Chain A
Amino acid sequence: MSQDHDVQDLKRTPLHGLHLSLGGKMVPFAGYDMPVQYPTGILKEHLHTRDAAGLFDVSHMGQAALVGPDVAAALETLVPGDIQALDHGRMRYTQLTNEAGGILDDLMVTKLADDRLWLVVNAACKLNDFALIEGALDGRARLERAEDRALLALQGPKAAEVLSRLVPDAAALPFMAMAELDVAGTPALVSRSGYTGEDGYEISVAADDAEGLAKLLLAQDAVAPIGLGARDSLRLEAGLCLYGHDIDETTTPVEAALVWSISKRRRAEGGFPGAETIQRQLADGPQRRRVGIRPDGKAPAREGTPIMKDGRAIGTVTSGGFGPTVSGPVAMGYVETAHAAADTAIELEVRGRALPGRTAKLPFVPQRYYRG
């Protein structure tokens, strides 16, 4: 059960030393040495985030500015999201797609100015993403990789109260909006966003400022450090996709139930990689669809678990485990569209046994984003 890994090859975020001093249990993740949990443990870290506020180091994610006179239209040639409709300071979730309509990565895009977008992409994909964007938009937009920046996420029902103490303007920042704010003397790009289903912020700062800001946040009442383990269980309960598991190059945004992220104009006009496939699936319906799954019993159905209906395979679990807030097993996966309606009886093949379960509406835990 020991977890040997060659730490020499792993990259470190600017908060690596802080993780060690907090007793973080470090594991390799996307090429980085990251804390999967602190001594408190995943269950308590998860519940603390839903009850109060959790601080996450997400500095391994890729941050970059994309700059050009028609940068929104340029990026739209690579993603199905409506980037041109973004107002100043507003952000949007979208995907980089391939020619088959598959998902190369999912990302957040913010409009900082008419000629300037801010991108946040997944750690494991960032080198490929950035190379793709630079290559495809060469001569039209310039990518400025922000490798010297850290990213902290402060998530939970007390996040707003905590951050407002340090920067009063944080209180009224709308959901999915970003502003340049001074957080107790530290210049930061603060957005009202996150990946836990809770209200909260993501705070981008210079690498040199990260540890000081993290310590300041951790010194506030209600804030505890949270590792990747709880980050995973929180996003699973919130019904949010994890790239490389719930979505990848073989799944389209339509199959992944992400059509809400494609505007009416973009559905009609296309103009992004794989548009033909995605438009056809929008018109005819996909053959399979991502759904939530609740096992009836207590046994978790993990990633890779076959999903059966009347003894026949109809899909596979792509994320699954124990939901601490649900206080039971939760999962998501793909099933044939005929069986994708919520509350369909299914079987989950766990260790050779067919365990009963049901498809379920996502999210498992109501999202509590700030709505002003």
Chain B
Amino acid sequence: MLKFTEDHEWVRVDGEIGTVGISDYAQEQLGDVVFVELPDIGKTIAKGDEAAVVESVKAASEVYAPVEGEVAAVNEALNDNPGLINSDAQGDGWFLKIKLADASQLETLMDEAAYKTYVEGLG
């Protein structure tokens, strides 16, 4: 199951683990990513709180947790190659894996078709 937030994060759920990243639209808006700050493993993050920071040449942006949970893993590959976010935002450019605290929170997020419509509306 793949879901999106209005802030352009995605979460792909497999069992009780959700993998989190930013959308392809978001990476395109950011431009070249040069640095990523990832959270500590084991940290609990509330839905909508800052989970990571992504910096392009121009500016720093927060990545918010789409759902509440405990950080189970982070994508260490981004430390040496933050450009993965530009080349494969919704695949190899994932940020973190989160152990879901409340799966029902997923229902508040958009599915892929709804997110596509949402992005088109941004013009």
Which residue numbers of A lie inside 8 Å of B, CB to CB? 1-3, 36-37, 41-44, 46, 229, 233, 298-300, 302, 321-322, 324, 329, 351
Residues 68 to 123 of chain B near chain A (Cβ within 8 Å): 79, 122-123
B59 within 8 A of A: yes
CB-CB under 8 A from A329, the residues of chain B are 35
CB-CB under 8 A from B46, the residues of chain A are none
Whether B58 and A36, one on each chain, are in contact in the complex, defined by CB atoms closer than 8 angstroms, is yes
Whether A229 and B29, one on each chain, are in contact in the complex, defined by CB atoms closer than 8 angstroms, is no
**Bound CA–CA A324/B59 (angstroms):** 14
For residue A328, which residue of chain B has the nearest CB? B34
CB-CB under 8 A from A1, the residues of chain B are 7-8, 26, 29-30, 61
The contact string, 1 if C-beta is below 8 Å from chain A, for chain B 34-65, is: 11010000000000000001011111110000
CB-CB under 8 A from B56, the residues of chain A are 42
CB-CB under 8 A from B37, the residues of chain A are 299, 351
Main secondary structure of the interface of B (DSSP, over half): mixed
Whether B57 and A302, one on each chain, are in contact in the complex, defined by CB atoms closer than 8 angstroms, is no
Whether B34 and A300, one on each chain, are in contact in the complex, defined by CB atoms closer than 8 angstroms, is yes
Which of A2, A3, A302 has the most chain B CB atoms closer than 10 A to its own CB?
Answer: A2
For residue B22, which residue of chain A has the nearest CB? A1
Contact of A322 among B7, B29, B35, B123 (CB under 8 A): B35
Whether A42 and B29, one on each chain, are in contact in the complex, defined by CB atoms closer than 8 angstroms, is no
Could you name 9 residue pairs across A and B whose Cβ atoms are closer than 8 Å?
A: A1-B7, A2-B29, A43-B32, A43-B34, A229-B58, A299-B35, A299-B37, A322-B55, A324-B57
**Bound CA–CA A20/B100 (angstroms):** 45
B contact residues, range: 20 to 34
**Bound CA–CA A233/B37 (angstroms):** 21
**Bound CA–CA A324/B53 (angstroms):** 19
Whether B30 and A322, one on each chain, are in contact in the complex, defined by CB atoms closer than 8 angstroms, is no
Given A299-B37, A322-B35, 19 extra CB contacts under 8 A: A1-B7, A1-B30, A36-B58, A37-B31, A41-B31, A41-B32, A42-B31, A42-B57, A42-B58, A43-B32, A43-B34, A44-B32, A229-B58, A233-B57, A300-B35, A302-B59, A302-B60, A322-B57, A329-B35
CB-CB under 8 A from A43, the residues of chain B are 32, 34, 57
**Bound CA–CA A329/B53 (angstroms):** 15
**Bound CA–CA A42/B37 (angstroms):** 21
CB-CB under 8 A from A37, the residues of chain B are 31
Shortest Cβ gap from A370 to chain B (Å)? 28
CB-CB under 8 A from A233, the residues of chain B are 57
**Bound CA–CA A300/B57 (angstroms):** 9
For residue A353, which residue of chain B has the nearest CB? B37
**Bound CA–CA A43/B32 (angstroms):** 7
**Bound CA–CA A1/B119 (angstroms):** 11
CB-CB under 8 A from A3, the residues of chain B are 29
Contact of B57 among A2, A229, A298, A351 (CB under 8 A): A229
For residue A3, which residue of chain B has the nearest CB? B29
CB-CB under 8 A from A46, the residues of chain B are 57
The contact string, 1 if C-beta is below 8 Å from chain A, for chain B 3-26, is: 000011000000000000000001
**Bound CA–CA A3/B59 (angstroms):** 13
Shortest Cβ gap from A67 to chain B (Å)? 40
CB-CB under 8 A from B26, the residues of chain A are 1
Shortest Cβ gap from B120 to chain A (Å)? 12
Shortest Cβ gap from A350 to chain B (Å)? 9
Shortest Cβ gap from A48 to chain B (Å)? 13
CB-CB under 8 A from A44, the residues of chain B are 32
Whether A2 and B122, one on each chain, are in contact in the complex, defined by CB atoms closer than 8 angstroms, is yes
**Bound CA–CA A233/B61 (angstroms):** 18
Whether B35 and A42, one on each chain, are in contact in the complex, defined by CB atoms closer than 8 angstroms, is no
CB-CB under 8 A from A42, the residues of chain B are 31-32, 56-58
Which of B34, B122, B123 has the most chain A CB atoms closer than 10 A to its own CB?
Answer: B34
Shortest Cβ gap from B85 to chain A (Å)? 13
CB-CB under 8 A from A351, the residues of chain B are 37, 53
Shortest Cβ gap from B73 to chain A (Å)? 20
**Bound CA–CA A229/B32 (angstroms):** 11
